[in-house]
Amino acid sequence: MNILKTILLNKKRNQNGQATIELAIILPIVLLLVMMIIYSGIFTFSKSVVLLAAHSGGREGMFIWNKPTYTQEEKIEHVRQAINRVLDSLPNSESSDIDITDDGNGILMINVTYYFKLNLPFLEDITVYEAVPLQTEVIYRYNQPPEEG
């Protein structure tokens, strides 16, 4: 009986610290998974904000593009302001690229590029970018003014 008791007590003593070692192995993996979920959510939110900004600029351009009271530069500036109002909800939005093109046939093309920065030290080594470009392009058709004649 004493032998059995000794074996059981030794077995309990040998398991001291096992939970600490298991935690040391599992915790970094769990934290990495949680960080990946959070960053993918932030990335998806940023992508949807960039798309919303492009559409907001397109709607603004569609309404003012035919108004003769505005010059071409003023129209482009109004569209840029509409896009920037939406992009202001993102960090580093001032580094975004906005390209507005009018083909002269009633089509307004808006291209918005936002540079999504992850604060990870190894990102540039993996992707060659220090920031991931999120780009979206929208095309809006506007009514051309009637030709006089």
The band of 92, judged by pLDDT with boundaries at 50, 70 and 90, is: confident
Cβ atoms within 10 Å of 112's Cβ, excluding its own: 28
Phi, psi of 138 (to 5 degrees): -125, 150
Distance CA 98, CA 118 (A): 21
38-81 tens-digit pLDDT: 989 999 999 999 999 999 999 999 888 888 888 989 999 999 99
Domain boundaries, the chain: 19-141
110-120 tens-digit pLDDT: 999 999 887 77
pTM: 0.77
Residue 23, pLDDT above cutoff 80: yes
